[in-house]
Amino acid sequence: MTGFIREELLIAIPFLIAIGRIAKNGGIAAKWIPLLLLGIGVAIASVYGFVTSTLTGWRYLVDSIVITGILQGAVVAFASMGLYDTVKKTKAA
């Protein structure tokens, strides 16, 4: 899995699963939870990108926002949703 997700962002997966469960128990409609997790995942990854990027100028912004923020954040968010659904369906069977 570390081929697609930066190792430092793997910690965000259980965090996002917890946020999703809290949102579900809090009464947020199930159709909005993936968007919520996507937004939080992109925000976490963007902050991580701004902190760790070694580039300068416009490359710094592209690396921090696009590559790390949007791409890595989306992968982490979708991995957390997939892991949650897999565990949920495994327990039900």
Amino acid at 19: I
Say if residue 64's pLDDT is above 70.
yes
Evaluate whether residue 60 is within a structural domain.
yes
pLDDT confidence tier of residue 3, bands split at 50, 70 and 90: confident
49 within some domain? yes
Domain count, the chain: 1
Domain with 46 in it = 12-88
Residue 93 included in any domain: no
Q: Does residue 6 lie within any of the structural domains? A: no
Task: State the average pLDDT over residues 5-13.
Answer: 91
7 lies in some domain: no
CA distance 49 to 66: 9
pLDDT above 90: percentage of residues in the chain:
74
SS (H, E, C) 41-93: HHHHHHHHHHHHCCCCCHHHHHHHHHHHHHHHHHHHHHHHHHHHHHHHHHHHC
